[in-house]
């Protein structure tokens, strides 16, 4: 048996509900095509991993073996990867893809929610998890005390003809894992007016704009939410994680980008465009303006993926 899993990635647009209490955080984001994982798994006489991020994949295989007491060995071909820890949700997508493939190969029946808990994903943000499952624009319910997995509040079809220029500049400042948890714990003191404004932006401006396909209202809402979200994180010391991401944001704006923001903790910066050609020109502009000053982990034009991960068995 041969299991192939192909995923998208996720862009995190910010939080609407960072406030201590019964339910915390609450975020939204878009599952996207153009970058993702493609892995192929089959039984083998010993573990063998080929392709990108082989060390990371080997660690997750060992984690699965420990969680489920699996006995088989696997040949894993990693044909396509999301760059690690740049704000595109690589950990969630890779873990869910590998867990899903190996459990299918082992004949172990487990629903995706149980897999997520075992894999340790989806406990703070549900955008990547529900993106993997359903695709589209995801609004999670926030973390409820005592729950190991964030709930799904809403899922929308996102206009596939709204294109997203995405640039991740190389930087020494990268936030994930335990550092991310410390940052989140430090942002619990959010004033009432900011909290209410975030709710208003998301539920009275941004989401209605998606339903109505109103590009102008959507990009205005995204940018305002991103700016508001950044004020929650004093450790970031500004709207963007670092000077490299700030420079990228300025270049995207010069190229006509709208709804500019930082995905998760960065360094990925995104901007929305009405045509693919305009988004491609923006990427070209960033490369021309900043290419001699910065290196890049990733640059590309993405679009909404209104369906989840694809699993093929042969």
CB-based burial of residue 313 (10 Å sphere; 0-12 exposed, 13-18 middle, 19+ buried)?
Answer: exposed
280-295 per-position pLDDT tens digit? 999 999 999 999 999 9
Q: What is the mean pLDDT of residues 13-26?
A: 83
Q: What is the mean pLDDT of residues 145-164?
A: 94
> Given pLDDT bands bounded at 50, 70 and 90, which one contains residue 175?
low
Q: What are the structural domains of the chain?
A: 2-157+307-313 (3.30.230.10), 163-302 (3.30.70.890)
Q: What is the distance between the alpha carbons of residues 215 and 140, in angstroms, rounded to a whole number?
A: 22
Model pTM? 0.94
Is residue 94 scored above 60 in pLDDT? yes
What angle (nearest 5°) sits at the alpha carbon of residue 136, between those of residues 134 and 142?
Answer: 80
211-223 per-position pLDDT tens digit? 999 999 999 999 9
Four-point Cα dihedral 304, 305, 306, 309, nearest 10: -160
């Amino acid at each position: 048996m041969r299991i192939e899993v192909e995923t998208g990635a996720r862009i995190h647009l910010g939080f609407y509900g960072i406030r201590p209490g019964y339910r915390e955080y609450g975020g939204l984001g878009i599952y996207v095509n153009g970058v993702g994982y493609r892995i192929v798994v089959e039984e083998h006489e010993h573990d063998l991993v080929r392709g990108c991020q082989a060390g990371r994949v080997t660690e997750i295989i060992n984690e699965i073996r420990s969680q489920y007491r699996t006995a088989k060995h696997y040949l894993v071909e990693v044909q396509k990867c999301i760059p690690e820890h740049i704000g595109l949700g690589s950990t969630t997508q890779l873990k869910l893809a590998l867990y899903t493939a190996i459990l299918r190969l082992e004949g172990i029946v487990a629903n995706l929610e149980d897999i997520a808990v075992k894999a340790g994903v989806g406990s703070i943000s549900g955008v990547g998890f529900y993106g993997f499952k359903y695709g589209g624009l995801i609004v999670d319910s926030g973390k409820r005390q005592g729950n190991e997995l964030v709930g799904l509040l809403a899922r929308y079809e996102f206009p596939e003809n709204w294109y997203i220029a995405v640039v991740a500049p190389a930087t020494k400042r990268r936030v994930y894992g335990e550092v991310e948890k410390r940052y989140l714990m430090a942002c619990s003191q959010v004033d009432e007016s900011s909290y209410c404004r975030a709710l208003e932006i998301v539920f009275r401006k941004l989401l209605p704009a998606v339903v109505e396909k109103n590009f102008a209202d959507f990009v205005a809402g995204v940018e305002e939410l991103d700016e508001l979200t950044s004020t929650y994180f004093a450790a970031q010391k500004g709207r963007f994680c670092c000077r490299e991401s700030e420079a990228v944001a300025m270049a995207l704006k010069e190229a006509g980008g709208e709804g500019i923001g930082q995905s998760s903790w960065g360094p990925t910066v995104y901007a929305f465009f009405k045509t693919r050609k305009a988004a491609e020109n923006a990427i070209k502009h960033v490369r021309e303006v900043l290419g001699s000053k910065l290196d890049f982990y990733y640059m590309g034009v993405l679009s909404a993926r209104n369906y989840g991960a694809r699993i093929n068995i042969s």
